[in-house]
Structure 1
Amino acid sequence: MAERLKLTPAQQAAGIDRAGESLALRSGAGCGKTFVLARRFTELLLMGGAKNLDEALSRFVALTFTDKAALEMSQRVRAMMRDFAARATGQDKRRLQGWIERLGEARISTIHSFCASLLRGLAIEAGLDPAFAVCGDTFVTDKLLAEAAELAVLWAVEAGDEAVAALLGAMSLESFSREVRDLTSLRDAVNFDDYDDPQITIERWAKAMERLRGLAQQRLGGDAQLREKLTELESFICTNDGDKLLPIRDDVLDIARQIISQPLADSAELFDELAKQKPGTKGSGKSWGDKDTAKAVRHCIKDLCGALGEYAVFAGLLNEHDQTAARTLATLCRLAGQTNERYAAEKKSRGIVDFTDLMTCARDVLAENPALRARLGEGIDQLLIDEAQDTDPTQLSMLLGLLDSRSGGGLTDGQSGGKLFLVGDAKQSIYRFRGARLEVFQQLCDRLGPGRQIDLDISFRTLGPGLAFVNYVFSQLLGDDYSPVRSSRTELPAGSSVEILLANGPEDRPVESAQAADIAQAEMTAQRISQMVSRSEKRVWDAETEQFRPVRYGDIAILFARMTNSLVYERELQKRDIPYYVVSGTGFFRQQEIFDCLNALRVIDNPRDDLALVGLLRSAMFGLDDNALLHIASHVPKPWLPNMDEARLGELARLMKPGQAEALQLARDMLQKLSAEKDALGCDKLLERVLAETSYEAVLLSQYHGRRMVGNVRLLLSQARQSAGQMSLAEFVEQMDEQILNESRYEQAPAAGEGDDAVQLITIHKAKGLEYPVAFVPDLNAGQQPIKAATLHRLDMGLVTKIRPGSLADDDESNDDD
């Protein structure tokens, strides 16, 4: 059947010509990978459906990362089938119409949905309640896991565990329990028993370090960029032998040459010396030619030291601190194993599983039953995995285990043809914090071999200059591993397609701090947006008129790595009356409307909580002013709510402004009544009553961004409904308090309608797969976030943990750095 759309050669090969082979498809953004996935799925049906019409839809499994992506793929497949059916005749037409009617049976879903479906039929074999429920509420599962970790620690202390007692001497119970909890969350990737023996752990680390050191030595020997920095630093000429910057420059050059010329294992002292070289503000412009040159020398020294510093970790050998770390890890792993047992028992008693359980249970039941695995694998003719760069090792090992062993686990082709189709892009790997490992995807591509890798490298989305910029940046970062992307578009707007805005700040407010840099960038971003729209700059391509049209607010997105500073940008947009829509505003638990609702629940739970009562009465929910609160404090003994009788209310009414006494009466009556009924009502019903009796949502709607405030309140209510029956009111409030203290990343509700003509503020994670004609990417000066976790899981070393030398070691006088 002829294609209506002209495919690129790569799309043709991946989606049609080589649909029966195992392939890895590496696709840049906007290169049509969803189209290829849908087309390949359709082609597989057309290739095999005539032989096995009844079960054809079930023999191909397509797995995506999100429900939205699964829905989009299903819709694409349906549209393609309708297109084919419209041009088909006879038996082909009937066959296609039959598939269209039964497309809901197609196995197109998320990985988690696939595993849940698999386990429904294998619940007994997996040791699960056949009626198990998947608990998607992370508040509930996080709380259960945290409680299990704390109990494991407390039981160890009560049992006289000296190793645990020693660790608790170096950190608080809360911090220690959190470390155990975080380690337990790695249970899908780690066998905790493997770390029982500290000496075996040390040997494992030493072997891994030796291998990594060898790789680093090879990389150092061929590091062309490092040598360019070295040559650049050598090229600067100083005319004054007494200049204070000169000996630093010469020492750095000498140390760098020695490090490059000798084994890394012998360079520990050299790296220590390199770390001491601090140019600061040394060096005069007169000695180096001018101020800018002296500044360039200082920057070049820092760049060279930074580039060399990346190799420093490979110079050190394992020492007594690593022995202490191995012992610490053994203790943590033992507690993590116990925590996991408690956590599993609690989930079992509730008949629930979490998302990690879906993966591990499916993996384990398949690994333990070869015959079952073979039978299930025989029912899959091909497995298509989207966003493979963001899958984790557990997911991939489980999925590959399903494939027929006769086809090499799907990585080579047997007589029955290819079994595996991977789709991914290294540049778009953004979920490492969720356990995704890009290395696993790259290793699978390597195992398939270069002949079974196809690059979709023609973008239908981005203009040529934009892609040229992206290609330059990523080629510097990824080197030979980067595959450049070309644009299929030939149209170009007037002016530059890529702009770099340097926010130096006004003369009266120079950028001298991170906060000042945030404000300066926000000001410049808002100013440029205002200019684009007010000047009617023609930068957006109109496919209907085939011309560039003026930019509208709704064309623009501000893409954040983190939404930490989004409020700074909101303020600057507000100053210029620029409408905006916050797609992924964080700080949900630090919004005033959330404080107000939680204060109401706190007082209902504990009427003696005067601090929460004051916050609630002062809020927009009741609107008492400071004078009213002062009168309450002066005339009502603590605790205020239980002692606020009719006589005292009458006395306060004579002192307060009109309307405030009535608000206080409403608050007193409502809070006392709900407090008496709290045990009969869930936290969700209590919050519903509070909102209904105070008309709080109506009050919020009258304020600026009231729609977002109401949205936040309803998100909190949704959270309360999910927790109802799982938590008491006190437990729910406690959980919310913990989220506030931890500055949870839970997202706010949007400030405007998604369809409004408004600038969108969104995280890069949320923007994945979306398209914006104009995108601003701020905070490029921000450094990488430091890793806060004490224990990490590395594919190349296994579990590693960091300690502060001296805090846990036998020698209490040690003053070494981390």
Structure 2
Amino acid sequence: MTRELRPAQLDAAHDLGRHISVTAGPGAGKTTVLVERYLHILRTQDVSVDQIVAITFTNRAANEMRERLRSELSSLVRLSTGYERARWIRHKRTLDGGVITTIHGFCSRLLHEFPVEAGIDPQFKLLDEHQSSILLETAVEEALTAFINSGHEAITRLTAGVGRQALVMSLIEIYRSIRNPGLTIERVRELTEANHSTAADYAEAVERLDEVMERFAQKPGLSPASGKKRAAAVDAWREIRNLLTNPPSSFSLAVYCQAVEDFRKTRPPARDPLKDIVTEIDGLIWNDELGGQVPQLFFDLYAREASLELIGVIERVGRELAAKKVSLAALDFDDLQLEALRLLNERPDAQRRTASRYRFFLVDEFQDTNGLQRELMNRLALSERRANLFIVGDRKQSIYGFRGADVDLFREMSSALEEAGGQSKSLTLNFRSQAPLIHFFNYLFERIFTPGDDADVSELNELGFVEHEPGIAERPAEDAGPLVEILIDLKDQEADSAGDWNGRERDAEQLALKIQSLVDANAAPRVFRYLDIALLFRSLTEVSIYESAFRRAGIPYQTIEGKGFYAKEEIVDLIQLLRFLDNTTDELALAAILRSPLVGISDDTLLALRCAPEIDETSKAARVLGTADELRLRRGVRGLLNAVRNHELIDLITDEDHRALDPFRALIETLIDQRNRLGIADLLRFTIETSEYRTVIAAAFDGAQRLANVDKLFDLAERFEASGAHMIRDFVRFVYEFERSGAREGEGRIDDSANAVRLMTIHQAKGLEFPIVIMPELQRQLDIRQDWWLLDRHLGLTAKVPDGRGARVTGFTMKRLRDRAGLREQFESMRLMYVAATRARDRLIFSGAAARERELCSGRHNWLSWICESLGIAAPLESKLLKLTDNLEVQLTANLLDSSTTAAILREPPEHIEAAEAFDAADPLPLLMPVARSVENAAYTFTVTQLMNHGRCPRQYYFDRVLHAPSGDEIAFWNNAEAPEPPANLTATIRGAVIHRFCERYDESLSLDDCLRRSLDEVLKLREAELGDRIREVEPEKALRELRPLAENYLNSNVRTRITETLASAGDFDGIGVGVFNEQHFRIRRPLGFITGTIDKLLVRGLADGDGLSAEIIDFKTNRFRTGLKMEAQATIGEAKASAQAILSRRSRAGAGQLAFNFESQREEASLLGEVNRVALEYRLQAQAYALAVRELMPSVKKVRVAFHFLHPNIEVSVASDLLEHKACAIAVEEAMSRMISSNEPESFPAKPAEHCYSCSFREICFKGSEWIAAHSG
């Protein structure tokens, strides 16, 4: 090996007399240097293998290093004789016991060596990710409850402002963000206290504002108009001054915020002679969104209080979690490091024995360590009895900030080693990539690795900025022509409509074409194989788009850890089988099995099993009624299991499906009989071995991967069973909790030699190399964190503060930490891009798509703009050869799809469905039984939404409001009232909020797109806590495309016409405003309490006869119906039943075969009417509550109309006028309140199973709901 090393490598490997810090660039052969240093220690020092510690970042790297050492030792054994040979044989035999492991493995070894000194159980159990997550969530729930119950005001306000479940998840993340990097609670508390503003800071800012306002009030030379505006502002200042000087408590924060916003409305234009002074006041108080210095410092005082309270909760979480783990004699992965460090700090004897035993430490990938791991190395190598420490890494390749790694620690540790007499060295030779690629890396990243104008130079190290260090090519150019290609698909604004163009789909399609050209047998100058190609993604959230494109193009691929192991179809199939075996009444599970490759029957047969007549009944029907009505013979439905057992007796099942059901019947009977005798893994293996499941999934496009996943499920089931006595339901529950916790289980590994394109994340590719690297979706926005809290290792914790009005306000410290976090993410994204590009050996392909030309140079928002700005690429785009230097060329390929006749991919147009006919509603539904009011003249307060939820399903209300049971998603219930929605860029709640904001804000002075974009930005800022990490996945352009049709429906609707007409006639009527009013909040008193709500739009007009007013209440709905209705329609609650019956009667006259099995066509109209009717009826109480509020708060209103505008599809539904009479509204509302107040025991919250059960967040724990779903899923 020695003769293969270059001088710089030899110098780093053989310098054993001092500590060494090595910066090794990509392809520099650092593993070779590590192996050589290990061998050189054995060769020249009187030590054994067990006195050398080699620490790697992953187990894979540890295994690779061990195998490299084993191979080199074998060579040394062969080449040596005598005593030397015996010594090398001894080292080789003891290598398996050598300490070549990860940092966690080394810490575990220490704790097992010194269990008594560490104060832990020698047989401690190591918790896996799932188990530790469940324990942590439980501890957080208990700690939060304790804080709330003990009267901690700041936590109580945060719970109300953020939401309990969102707060729990945030506390979990805060706990990990403090613990993972090795921070202590004491240190975070100290930083938090020191870096927030103080009351003195706030008082000083108010005093400065007072001085500026004095100058403002005395400014001479104003025109009469400007003087009048200045006078109004001065008067307002006198009113607000006392409030600013003596601000209210945080419980009245809403008053403070509103006063500041009202004061801003008096701001005069910033024109001479007031321009300079108005600009100065802007900075102090008049900035948009409460962004002035005075309110920001004020909010910072409460942010400090809230942050310290959060730290207190985290401290309690740590104590409770530690107690739980002690009782279980268990540790998690972070405990291994923490307990090892505590052992070394508190037990000098253990520290001395460890330092004397281990004489050499070799640490790989040191740029990805955290503060805790650095402190461990300090204690082991830089203590009084020093061992020799060798660290190797590259700051440019530090990409694990989300795990707590701090890129600046490598610099700090290198400095510490130099102070201890060590030396820093660099390895800049690149043995991996061809020379033109190295030249390109140097050219590109010299321009990208710049701090930008926003960065504070004094903070660059803290924020992780790294200067680029050029690499030196060791490998010559082997291929002619440009080795770097940039594919850009730019939207044709004229040819592509907004709804048809999708950037990721276009990107995936152009890459499919490119890959086909690379593996083409006629390709020149070199033909590649599929396995030579790797696509490296920043995130795999949208990888399915690329998978679909590759499947259509016939390109074999392997996705490494795609959408999650437990979400894979083959795994879902087998988990559903276990669910059924645990509970044979679970017909949803059985239906899933029947449709899976385990059986594979058709949808028609599945329906026939549930409700088709038996063969004898069919014959009788033919004789008596004729074939048209044969299905009506079966009034109910049969159980699926019973149907499977007797499938040969059921008519209308094909012979093919009968043949599929025969073996499954025998299999399922055997499994039911053996389910309590065989283990989980054995049940699964028996199922696979006695069916054709393996054969079927192996024939799939990604069959090899599916087979590997099935085998991995067997292994996981065996490991689960080995951890204790478990039933089938325990494993099913384990899988559910594992998915819910957000943990990820990697897919089963397949043969790495499979000829398939690799799709993986950049993090997964770290340490690997590929002949061709493709970097897709360059247009993806940078992942800049947007959350209601932030933790900075150098400045502490801060949080946004609930303002008492449903929003959260930002303090000065939050703004500072957010700016720092944005720069930190930007710098890490630079390094992530560098790591991805430098995986390439022979070719590097960048690929992206842009909807507009300006996105090519849009600042530091995505990699596409970075590359275009660095290489001088600008519109208009055209394919050409970019000559960057005399010896560096890059191929730019523009709009590859448009120039290829093979790129067309068929897309089915959405099916058009005619609008529904008008309909009517029945009288108000009666109570199920008389209910006595429990409290007279009570002071209860209910929202209109609560009344609707309770009326719709009392059991759902009980789970949500009484038990506070955890739901799958804390979403606004009525904005997502329909069946489950397909995956979307925005949740139903967020989509509804944006459209509501758009409808509220739009006026003729704004363009549709500008108003929609502004509405989206505002809602995303308000919903940061609800979205959490998902806010990073929201793609604004995609969201706007999704929302635009709804906005267009609004602008083209009769509703908008009436709004415009009302605006034109705005004025006064007897002192009451006439016109359009947005977001009208109300609170009315009833005998049983208060009702609160918000009306979207209120149109108030004068009656034609002049005797009073008319009011029209408009409520916008963004419910998604499962039908494809396109055109606008109007309807009135009251006609739906007749219309539906007419449709059904017309369809029943069709042929019997169509009625029995061509269900979709006749159901589309009927199901649309059914859904509209059902949803409209469910909103009836909302309409009556709103009408009651208007009538009581506006006595001049004589006529009330309520319209629900369903924006998707574009349908307006009005409520019958008799339902809106004052008496009818009062009775309906008071009866709803009475039912809620008198409901105390669980029995008084009955379930009302219906279509809404499909989307209910609590369906997993509601027996009636699950039962209804099972009965109606056929």
TM-score class, shorter-chain normalisation, is 0.7 to 0.9
Distance apart, 1:44 and its partner CA: 1.9
After superposition, the Cα gap between the structure-2 partners of 1:375 and 1:740, relative to the gap in structure 1 and judged at 3 Å, is closer
CA deviations on 1:206-231 (whole Å, 9 max, x unpaired) are 59xx9xxxxxxxxxxxxxxxxxxxxx
CA-to-aligned-CA distance 1:472-497 (integer Å, 9 cap, x gap): 33223334722111111223411101
Aligned equivalent of 2:3: 4
Which secondary structure state, in structure 1, belongs to the residue aligned with residue 486 of structure 2? coil
| Residues in 2 aligned to 1:314 and 1:381: alpha-carbon distance in whole angstroms | 58
Q: Are 1:175 and 2:153 counterparts?
A: no
Distance apart, 1:723 and its partner CA: 3.1
Residue identity opposite 2:747 in structure 1: Q
| C-alpha distance 69-646 of structure 1, shift in aligned 2 (>3 A) | closer
Whole-angstrom CA distance in 2 between matches of 1:658 and 1:328:
68
Matched-pair contact (CA < 8 Å) for 2:395–2:407: yes
The letter for the 2-side match of 1:70 is A
Match of residue 471, structure 2, among 482, 485, 494: 485
Residues 685 and 714, structure 2, Cα contact 8 Å, conserved in 1: yes
Structure 1 pair 325–100 and aligned structure 2 pair: CA distance change class (3 A):
same
- Listed one character per residue, the Cα deviations across residues 386-421 of structure 1 (whole Å, up to 9, x for unaligned) are 0001112112212321225237xx6xxxxxxx7211
Change (3 A) 1:176 1:794: same
Q: TM-score scaled to structure 1, two decimals?
A: 0.75
Match of 1:521 in 2: 507
Correspondence for 2:581 among 594, 604, 613: 604
Partner-residue secondary structure (3-state), 2:157: helix
- 3-state secondary structure, aligned to 1:460: strand
1:334-733 matched pairs, under 5 angstroms: 334-406=312-384, 419-449=388-418, 452-479=423-450, 481-504=467-490, 510=496, 516-534=502-520, 536-537=522-523, 549-634=526-611, 641=639, 644-645=641-642, 649=646, 653-658=650-655, 660=657, 683-692=680-689, 694-724=691-721, 725=723, 729-733=728-732
1:34-86 alpha-carbon deviations (Å, 9 max, x no partner): 1111111112222212xxxxx53222211111222122222333344444555
Is contact 2:161–2:806 with CA below 8 Å preserved after alignment? yes
Shift of 1:578: 2.6
What is the number of equivalent residue pairs in this alignment? 695
Q: Say if 2:58 is the partner of 1:66.
A: yes
8 Å CA contact 2:197, 2:301 repeated in 1 = no
Q: Would the aligned equivalents of 2:435 and 2:476 in 1 still touch at CA under 8 Å?
A: yes
Counterpart contact for 1:511–1:520, Cα < 8 Å: no
Distance between the aligned counterparts of 1:715 and 1:30, measured in 2? 33
What is the one-letter code of the residue matched to 1:138? E
1:546 corresponds to: none
1 CA distance for matches of 2:348 and 2:136? 32
- Name the structure 1 match of 2:1106: none
Give distance in 1, aligned partners of 2:767 and 2:670.
Answer: 50
Distance in 1 (alpha carbons) for counterparts of 2:155 and 2:59: 43
- Tell me what 1:122 maps to: 114
Shift of 1:617: 2.5
Q: Which residue of 2 aligns with 1:782?
A: 780
Quick one: structure 1 residues 684 and 181, their matched pair in 2 at CA, closer, same or farther if it must change by over 3 Å? Answer: farther
Measured at CA, do residues 695 and 537 of structure 1 come closer, stay the same or move farther in structure 2, by a change above 3 Å? closer
CA distance in 1, matches of 2:776, 2:195: 42
1:96 positional shift: 2.9
* 2:309 is equivalent to residue 331 of structure 1: yes
Matched-pair contact (CA < 8 Å) for 2:562–2:747: yes
Q: Which residue of 1 aligns with 2:48?
A: 56
Which residue in the other structure is 1:192 paired with?
Answer: 185
Match of 1:797 among 771, 775, 795: 795
Tell me, in whole angstroms, the C-alpha distance in 2 between the residues paired with 1:503 and 1:564. 21
Residue 754, structure 1, aligned to residue 732, structure 2: no
Q: Cα distance, 1:363 vs. partner?
A: 0.9
User: What TM-score do you get using the length of structure 2 for normalisation?
Assistant: 0.50
- 1:39 maps to what in 2? 36
Contact 1:195 1:201 in 2 (8 A): yes
Instruction: Tell me the alpha carbon deviations over residues 563-583 of structure 1, each in whole angstroms, 9 at most, x when there is no partner.
Output: 223222223323333333333
Q: Helix, strand or coil for the counterpart of 2:773?
A: strand
Q: Distance in 2 between matches of 1:783 and 1:514?
A: 21
Q: Whole-Å Cα distance in 2 between the matches of residues 772 and 811 of structure 1?
A: 48
SS in 1 for 2:541: helix
Q: How far is 1:320 from its partner? A: 3.3
On the 8 A contact 2:645/2:665 being kept in 1, the answer is no
2: CA distance between counterparts of 1:406 and 1:624?
73
The structure having more radius of gyration, on CA atoms, is 2
Show CA shifts across 1:106-135 (max 9, x none): 322221111111111111222221112323
Q: Deviation at 1:784?
A: 1.7
* Contact kept? 2:491, 2:501, Cα under 8 Å: no
What is the rounded CA distance, in whole Å, between the counterparts of 1:398 and 1:585 in structure 2? 35
Deviates more, 1:675-684 or 1:23-32: 675-684
Partner residue, 1:142: 133
Shift of 1:790: 4.9
Deviation, structure 1 residue 449: 4.2
2:28 counterpart letter in structure 1: C
The CA deviation at 1:804 is 5.4
Q: Secondary structure at the match of 2:117?
A: coil
1:744 CA displacement: 5.8
Matching residue within 300, 304, 310 for 1:322: 300
The separation in 1 between residues aligned to 2:350 and 2:403, in whole angstroms, is 30
The CA deviation string for residues 650-681 of structure 1, in whole angstroms up to 9 with x for no partner, is: 68533422354575677678668767876776
Distance 1:810 1:573 in 2: 45
Identity rate, percent: 29
Whether contact under 8 Å (1:560, 1:777) holds in the other structure is yes
- The 3-state SS of whatever aligns with 1:502 is strand
Partner of 1:248: none
1:770 is aligned to 2:768: yes
Deviation string, structure 1 residues 265-293 (Cα, Å, up to 9, x no partner): x99939998x99xxxxxxxxxxxxxxxxx
- What SS does the corresponding residue of 2:390 show, helix, strand or coil? strand
Mapped to 2, the partners of 1:675 and 1:788 lie a distance apart of 50
Q: Distance in 1 between matches of 2:345 and 2:675?
A: 48
Matched-pair contact (CA < 8 Å) for 1:60–1:380: yes
Deviation for aligned residue 1:731: 4.8
Distance 1:404 1:431, change over 3 A: closer
Distance 1:804 1:267 in 2: 25
Give deviations 1:677-709, integer Å, cap 9, x for gaps: 767766545544554555433332233322222
The Cα shift of 1:710 comes to 2.6
What CA distance in whole angstroms lies between the structure 2 residues aligned with 1:640 and 1:338? 54
Give the distance between the partners of 2:316 and 2:293, measured in 1 at CA: 37
AA aligned to 1:579 is P
Q: In structure 2, how many angstroms separate the alpha carbons of the residues matched to 1:681 and 1:155?
A: 44
Distance 2:751 2:644 in 1: 48
Matched residues in 1 for 2:130 and 2:734: separation?
7
